[in-house]
Amino acid sequence: SGGEQSPCLFQFHKDGFLVLEQFFSAAECDSMRSQIQRIIAEMEVPPHCRTEFSTREEEQLQAQGSSDYFLTSGDKIRFFFEKGVLDEKGNFLIPKEKSISKIGHALHAYDPVFKQITHSPKVQELGRKLGLERPVVVQSMYIFKQPGIGGEVTPHQDATFLHTEPLGRILGFWIALEDATQENGCLWFIPGSHTSGITRRMVRAASGASTCVEFVGSEPAYDDNQFIPLPISKGGLILIHGEVVHKSELNSSECSRHAFTFHVMEAKGTSWSKENWLQPTPELPFPSLYT
């Protein structure tokens, strides 16, 4: 319609994020939660793959770089763990279902429940409202944010990890599968911070390097006072611009904060960086969002 923007789209472009409460039903959330329980029940974790997930740069490099388990997870369903849940021999100190940090990065492609959610009619309709012409799904993750140990995610921009030319072609869909509160680690954003580009990129390291990814550039020091919390109820969706600065705090509560998230790229007129850790494969080219 003659380039008119709805009020909520205007808000998205102004802030770099948009909260849509009750986008998914409680039943849809519960179907994702029970499906992930089935996946965990069948999970076999080879000891050499017991990669602990960390957002601190050095640990990120060391943990993710020490194996290509992370690097080759783009077209698989793989398991990443919180810090401090394994002993030095790689055995779990707490039950595996309580120690897992995230599962990624191809649930949207290989799991029927998550595939159905990712390509659900209302998601496709939202894509069209946003003016996406050739959106493709690049990755998905189930995030647990475990009670008491769900680690903080330091301030970052998604485009640091998913780089495109031009910028501005990455969009995150973040679905709360349980209420996300300040106590259990909801997302925090700096409104309007999506307009100044990016200063840091995570790239594949040259072959033969000791880690398989490295960071180029550095994250500026962000002012804590600029962040606003975005608590959201179960079933709510947060749309996240690829360059908006966001974070989440440690989950110090007794409740988990499960979320399912996936990233979409507008493929029209866009090139996906060959240096990104995540690459489409012959087995899994990035699937179209529209079906």
> Are 2 and 215 within 8 A, CB to CB?
no
- Write the DSSP string, 251-285: --SSS---EEEEEEEE-TT-EE-TTSS----SS-P
Residues 175-184 pLDDT 10s: 999 999 999 9
Q: Which helix (H) or strand (E) holds 165?
A: strand 164-165
Q: How far is CA 115 from the centre of its chain?
A: 16
Q: Is the predicted pLDDT of residue 67 greater than 70, yes or no?
A: no
Helix (H, G, I), strand (E, B) or coil at 2: coil
Taking residues 92-121, what's their average pLDDT? Answer: 94
Q: Is the predicted pLDDT of residue 241 greater than 60, yes or no?
A: yes
Instruction: Give percent of the chain above pLDDT 90.
Output: 74
Which pair of tokens denotes residue 17? 């994020």
CA distances from 46 to 13, 52, 241 (A): 44, 13, 35
User: What pLDDT is recorded for position 6?
Assistant: 82
Residues 144-164 pLDDT 10s: 999 988 889 999 999 999 999
- For the ranges 62-71, 91-100, 264-273, the lowest mean pLDDT is seen at 62-71
Taking residues 255-278, what's their average pLDDT? Answer: 97
Q: Highest mean pLDDT range out of 2-6, 7-11, 113-117? A: 113-117
- Sequence-separated (6 or more) residues with CB below 8 Å from residue 197: 167, 243
Q: Is the pTM of this model over 0.85?
A: yes
If pLDDT is split at 50, 70 and 90, which confidence band does 46 have?
A: low
- Write the DSSP string, 76-132: SEEEEE-TT-B-TTS-BSS-HHHHEEEEEE-HHHH-HHHHHHHT-HHHHHHHHHTT-
Q: Sheet containing 100-105: which strands, arranged edge to edge?
A: 17-20, 237-241, 170-176, 259-266, 135-143, 100-105, 77-81
Q: How many residues does the chain have?
A: 291
If pLDDT is split at 50, 70 and 90, which confidence band does 185 have?
A: very high
CATH of domain 7-272: 2.60.120.620
User: What pLDDT is recorded for position 8?
Assistant: 85
User: What pLDDT is recorded for position 49?
Assistant: 53
Q: Tell me which residue of 83, 88, 95 sits closest to 37, measured CA to CA.
A: 95
> Are 173 and 114 within 8 A, CB to CB?
no
Stronger pLDDT, 1 or 258, i.e. the higher one: 258
Instruction: Give percent of the chain above pLDDT 70.
Output: 90
Cα–Cα dist 219/216, whole Å:
10
User: What pLDDT is recorded for position 95?
Assistant: 86
Q: Is the predicted pLDDT of residue 129 greater than 70, yes or no?
A: yes
Residue with tokens 């529209």: 290
| Cβ atoms < 10 Å from Cβ of 57 | 15
Taking residues 242-256, what's their average pLDDT? Answer: 96
User: What pLDDT is recorded for position 1?
Assistant: 44
Residues 25-38 pLDDT 10s: 999 999 999 999 99
User: What pLDDT is recorded for position 65?
Assistant: 46
Residues 203-237 pLDDT 10s: 998 877 777 888 999 999 999 999 999 999 999 99
Q: Is the predicted pLDDT of residue 102 greater than 90, yes or no?
A: yes
Q: Is the predicted pLDDT of residue 48 greater than 80, yes or no?
A: no
Could you state, in order of their start, the residue ranges of all structural domains in the chain? 7-272
State the number of CA atoms in the 13 A half-sphere of 283 facing the CB: 8
User: What pLDDT is recorded for position 60?
Assistant: 57
Q: What is the DSSP letter of 220?
A: P
Q: Tell me which residue of 203, 130, 134 sits closest to 173, measured CA to CA.
A: 130
Which pair of tokens denotes residue 199? 């200063």
